[in-house]
Amino acid sequence: MARTREAETPAVEELLYKSDSVFMCLLVNRRTRFIRVIDFRAGALPAKRLYIQGVARREGIEKVITLVEKDEVSSWTRLGFVREGTIPGFYKRSDGHLCGCLVGERTASAEVSEDGIRLAERTVNAARKAAAELPEHIRGICVEHIDEEAALNARDQAWKRGVGVGSFDDFGRDAERYFVRTSGRRGKPNYLVAEYQDCFGHSLVEALRAPEGEGELLALTHALRQVCDELTERGIVSAFAFAPSDDVELATAYTAAGFRKTGLLAGGIFARGTRRDAVLWTRRLANPATDAEPEPPTTRPSRSIRTEEEDDFDDDDDLPRDEDETDEE
């Protein structure tokens, strides 16, 4: 009976909680021991934290996050969450502010340590240097759309081998997804998923694993650029991703594809069999607030003029900031 119940338990499940004053959805990911909270009613109500804690302990959850607009950040910090990053354009015309909590015995959530912040800075700086050496036009790469079954089979194999980073599980509710396989002349194929919501205009982009060697790095970089171009054509304005804070190879691919670090999450990702701090990588694909044209396809990393919304992230003293991330005119 125990085996039957375990087999019937989905890796990702939506749990709704509704009362007179609280209405929210918990997206529980048992594979990565992670919860995303989608809150439908504002307010720092203790009932929210009590319900989240109860579900987290029952399911063995280690990390909880929520994405909210700026005026709701203070409500979640009063509930013990820590503001850990920003996704520009997450709600099309406004940013999404990521508040996270590590589940543990302490009342307050643990934050990234000083050593963890320095490690992430070294990773980002090394990635910038490596990305600058990649060619503007990468040739000899095959990027093809594949069906979900093939992608999930590849995911299962990678996770069995202990090399999986992307879980390819649902991050949002009622989202569209598509999968691609990328391969070059050298190295093994890699896989990506883009999960997007037209109503909000954002997309989570996940790579299955970190590239090994130059050939796989070029293939992943080219695929990320192509995926971002396709998302722009679909009207998506914002792309984001999570990667281990010590993974220079993944950081290089995201940097070369036009992403930048806008957050650092304590224990934010379960990858390669362990929980690790995670860099939040984001790329604004368009700016609907000013009816701007979409950015041209990215060929190499560049520093664009920063918007007021992006500067909001760096103006907060409680968030990590890259050493060379200064305002540009």
User: How high does pLDDT run on average in the chain?
Assistant: 87
Shortest CA distance to 195 belongs to which of 242, 156, 131? 242
Indicate the range of 11-15, 267-271, 281-285, 301-305 predicted with least confidence: 301-305
Domains of the chain and CATH, by start: 2-102 (3.40.630.30), 114-305 (3.40.630.30)
* Residues ≥6 apart with Cβ < 8 Å to 157: none
Q: pTM score, two decimals?
A: 0.85
Q: In this structure, are residues 76 and 99 in contact, taking their beta carbons and an 8 Å threshold?
A: yes
Tell me the average pLDDT across 117-143. Answer: 96
- Give the pLDDT of residue 108: 55
Q: Which residue has the higher pLDDT, 2 or 112?
A: 112
pLDDT of 326 over the 90 cut: no
Q: How many CB atoms lie within 10 A of CB 289?
A: 14
- Give the pLDDT of residue 305: 29
- Give the pLDDT of residue 292: 45
At 227-240, the pLDDT tens digits run 999 999 999 999 99
User: Distance (Å, rounded) from C-alpha 247 to C-alpha 205?
Assistant: 16
Q: C-alpha angle with apex 280: 276 to 284, nearest 5 degrees?
A: 165
- Give the pLDDT of residue 262: 98
pLDDT of 1 over the 70 cut: no
pLDDT of 213 over the 90 cut: yes
At 250-272, the pLDDT tens digits run 999 999 999 999 999 999 999 99
